[in-house]
């Protein structure tokens, strides 16, 4: 440690001088961000502050305060067993088992994927659909946020023959707040349709019935 960053040691009986030097030292090496009251201007770039209400650091850029995303905010999950619908034209929530998770985790019930921090998240969904019917089977997939269906979000696919298998997928960005939760919903118009988990072969690994990957892209 250089002399500049070494804490001053007491010298003689002049404790007041040492106390002032120690205070100056602590101000240099233990400085904290000034807390926002809500009236601070962001006119000058590169000013760091602490957003007391949202509980994260912010920096002024382009005339506005922007959150500094420190780290975290991702989730990867899969379903390794077939998923069937007990009834047609009925919504069911998928429950994923996470392989990687940081500040995004399964809630209660486990079908809920809960976001600990606010931000914009890139969410990628896939499902391997299959059918045991010779007739057309329609599949529906859509997201719910906090128990409400996301408007205009349904992905629909169809299989037209017995034994048909198809992987469907979609990626979208969601703007969520801390404490929000996501559910991946699905339904079929014929219970002959299901989500198919395929076992490993001698030359390839197993295929999950569904996967979901979540990454925070903007705070």
pLDDT in tens, 175-213: 999 999 999 999 999 999 999 999 999 999 999 999 999
Which residue, 63, 30, 32, is CA-closest to 48? 32
pTM: 0.74
| Phi, psi of 200, deg, nearest 5 | -65, 155
**pLDDT tens digit string along 93-149?**
999 999 999 999 999 999 999 999 999 999 999 999 999 999 999 999 999 999 999
Domain boundaries along the sequence of the chain: 3-67, 74-218
**Looking at domain 74-218, which CATH architecture does it have?**
Sandwich (2.60)
3-state class of 139 per DSSP? strand
The radius of gyration computed from the CA coordinates of the chain, to the nearest angstrom, equals 26
Which residue, 190, 198, 141, is CA-closest to 168? 141
| Phi, psi of 26, deg, nearest 5 | -65, -35
CA-to-CA distance for 66 and 202, rounded, in angstroms? 51
């Amino acid at each position: 440690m250089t002399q500049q960053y070494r804490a001053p040691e007491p010298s003689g009986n002049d404790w007041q001088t040492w106390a002032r030097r120690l205070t100056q030292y602590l101000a240099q090496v233990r400085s904290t961000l000034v807390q926002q009251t809500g009236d601070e201007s962001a006119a000058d770039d590169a000013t760091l502050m602490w957003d007391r209400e949202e509980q994260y650091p912010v920096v002024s850029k382009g005339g506005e305060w922007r959150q500094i995303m420190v780290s975290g905010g991702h989730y990867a999950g899969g379903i390794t067993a077939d998923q069937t619908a007990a009834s047609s034209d009925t919504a069911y929530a998928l429950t994923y088992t996470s392989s990687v998770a940081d500040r995004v985790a399964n809630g209660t019930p486990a079908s809920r994927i809960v976001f600990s921090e606010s931000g914009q998240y890139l969410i990628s969904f896939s499902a391997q659909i299959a059918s045991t019917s010779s007739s057309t089977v329609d599949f529906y997939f859509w997201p719910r946020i906090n128990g409400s269906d996301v408007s205009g979000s349904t992905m629909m696919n169809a299989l037209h023959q017995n034994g048909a298998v198809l992987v469907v997928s979609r990626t979208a960005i969601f703007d969520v707040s801390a404490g929000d939760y996501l559910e991946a919903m699905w339904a079929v118009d014929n219970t002959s349709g299901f989500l198919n988990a395929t076992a490993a072969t001698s030359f390839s690994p197993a295929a999950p019935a569904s996967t979901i990957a979540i990454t925070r892209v903007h705070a």
